[in-house]
């Protein structure tokens, strides 16, 4: 009778050990998937903000339309004279705006940004903001635009 009791106790310990191992494995996998999902959501949010900001810059002249002449009236920045045609004066004045003001106006306060306007061969025309650090999460959005009657690339990089 005692041997049967010892076998039953050993079976119980084995079952509890296997159950514990399974629970630990499920917990670790769950934690990994949750972190991966949160990272994906953060990346998607950053990407949406970057698309919205570049749309704002390349598709409209801003509010007040002639803000480049008087920076104090700027409510919403826009760099275009027409859809995807960048104004030289607006681009130049945009790069001279206060970094934190630009973040606020573009509604990207939770991120750092780096703005560049490149010619069609990739040579830098103008830039503004802080270049991303290699170890950070970043999203870069490039838009083809016209600048001084030539094809150019407007690039906005958001990073955290």
Q: What gap in Å lies between CA 99 and CA 122, rounded to an integer?
A: 24
pLDDT digits (tens, 9 = 90+) for 39-85: 888 889 999 999 999 999 999 998 888 888 888 888 889 999 988 99
Beta bridge partners of 151: 146
Q: Is residue 52 part of a domain?
A: yes
The number of folded domains in the chain is 1
For residue 160, the model assigns a pLDDT of 87
Contacts with 98 (C-beta within 8 Å, 6 or more apart), sequence order: none
Q: Is residue 39 part of a domain?
A: no
Q: Is residue 20 part of a domain?
A: no
Where residue 62 falls (left for φ over 0; alpha for ψ -120 to 50; beta otherwise) is left
pLDDT digits (tens, 9 = 90+) for 6-24: 677 888 899 999 999 999 9
Q: Is residue 1 part of a domain?
A: no
For residue 74, the model assigns a pLDDT of 87
Range of the domain at 94: 46-159
Q: Is residue 108 part of a domain?
A: yes
């Amino acid at each position: 009778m005692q041997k049967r009791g010892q076998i039953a106790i050993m079976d119980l310990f084995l079952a509890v050990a296997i159950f514990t191992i399974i629970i630990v494995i499920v917990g670790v996998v769950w934690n990994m998937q949750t972190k991966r999902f949160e990272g994906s959501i953060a990346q998607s949010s950053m990407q949406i903000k970057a698309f919205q900001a570049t749309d704002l810059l390349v598709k409209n002249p801003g509010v007040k339309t002639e803000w480049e002449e008087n920076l104090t009236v700027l409510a919403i920045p826009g760099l275009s004279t027409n859809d995807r045609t960048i104004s030289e004066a607006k681009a130049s004045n945009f790069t001279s705006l206060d970094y934190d003001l630009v973040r606020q106006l573009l509604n990207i306060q939770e991120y750092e940004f780096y703005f560049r306007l490149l010619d069609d061969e990739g040579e830098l025309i103008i830039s503004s903001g802080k270049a991303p650090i290699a170890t950070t999460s970043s999203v870069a959005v490039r838009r083809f635009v016209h600048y001084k009657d030539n094809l150019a690339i407007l690039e906005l990089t958001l990073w955290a």
